[in-house]
Structure 1
Amino acid sequence: MLKVISYNVKGLNAPVKRHSLAAEVQRLKADVVCLQETHFKRLAHPLLRIRNFNTQYHATGPTRAKGVSILIRSNVVFQLHRKISDPRGQYLIPICSLNHKIYTLVNVYSPNTEQLSFIFGVLRRVSLVATGSLLVCGDFNYSIDPLKDIRSPKILIPTKQIFCSIDSPPPFPFHLRC
């Protein structure tokens, strides 16, 4: 069983934030770490020195905004089959083997506006390439239950509708009846 954690880190350019993240990841004994809002600039990001996490993938934009990363623990048997990376740094989709099982990992950092159309677009793209078990992580900037979220507009769109609205839903590890 893999232990996966996902964090919106709200920027990792400060060494103290990278150190705190490393301590938390080690404490939780995570195997896969999905990070959103890393704020790394393309080709100028610092190396995330987290012990036993030598496999790292990053999607960065042209500025120090957005950004997603996926880190894989060294003791996980890993093989990358394909990687799709958003040039704006808002999603990263590696199709890979983790401990000899095929996964499509999706790490998303959704914009603050037009979240649903963004999510639909990413899921459409995923549906074209998804292989094995699908694991979706991220910060969707969208509330599953807007009635309980005081910061959210009170527009209720059921989560099921999000996944059923694309032409060909991706293969979910559970049954989703649309």
Structure 2
Amino acid sequence: MSIKLMSLNVKGLNSPFKRSLFWKEALNSKGDIVCIQETHVCQRNPPKISHPRFQQVLLSTYNKKKRGVLIAFKDTLAVSIHQTYIDPQSRFIIVLCSINNIDYTLVNLYAPNRRQKAFFTKLFKKIKEVKRGSLLICGDFTILS
């Protein structure tokens, strides 16, 4: 069975209209795992980001309406989440999971514009420490020359 992974930079999910558009796009593109960057969801009063077809949604929030990543799993997948690592700066989520009885390490990242070397060094060190099964990395890498 193949799994379709979808990755989008949405530049904010605070508006109900924008969340509705996002879920429609996820369903229309037939994504099984949806990775979103720049959710801009604030820790203090996060909106409800859910959908009946995506039963498991992992969200990182920040203390301001900026940054943020999300991973959503479609209800057609047999997903078992073993461990989740959420960056306190809301730049990445690492999920150790089994999908259809196969182990994966799934990473969704939103790289910063500055201090990229330090960010990627920290991220890859953490991945190396916890990785289990096949590694899937998606996100907005914001590579600057």
TM-score (norm: length of structure 2) = 0.94
Task: Work out which structure has the larger RCO, using CA pairs closer than 8 Å and 6 or more positions apart in sequence.
Answer: 2
Aligned 1:23-102 pairs, distance under 5 A = 23-102=24-103
Deviation of 1:61 after TM superposition, in Å, equals 1.2
Question: How much has 1:43 moved relative to structure 2?
Answer: 4.9
Contact 1:42/1:62 (CA < 8 Å) preserved in 2? yes
Give the fraction of aligned pairs with identical amino acids, expressed as a percent. Answer: 36
2:115 paired residue number: 114
**Aligned equivalent of 2:13:** 12
Task: Give the TM-score normalised by the residue count of structure 1.
Answer: 0.77
2: distance between equivalents of 1:22 and 1:129? 30
**3-state SS of paired residue (1:57):** strand
Normalized per residue, the structure richer in strand is 2
Shift of 1:117: 2.2
Deviations 1:82-113 (A, max 9, x none): 11111121110010011111100011111111
Structure 1's unaligned 5+ residue stretches are 143-151, 154-178
Which amino acid is 1:41 matched to?
Answer: C
Moved over 4 A (4+): none
Name the Cα RMSD after superposition. Answer: 1.2
Matched length: 144
- Where do 1:139-178 residues align within 5 Å? 139-142=140-143, 152-153=144-145
Q: How much does 1:70 deviate?
A: 0.3
Q: From the CA coordinates, give the structure whose radius of gyration is larger.
A: 1
Q: Secondary structure at the match of 1:122?
A: helix
Q: Classify the secondary structure of the residue corresponding to 2:80.
A: strand
Secondary structure at the aligned position of 1:76 is classed as coil
Unaligned runs of 5+ in 2: none
Classify the secondary structure of the residue corresponding to 2:27. Answer: helix
CA distance in 2, matches of 1:97, 1:29: 20
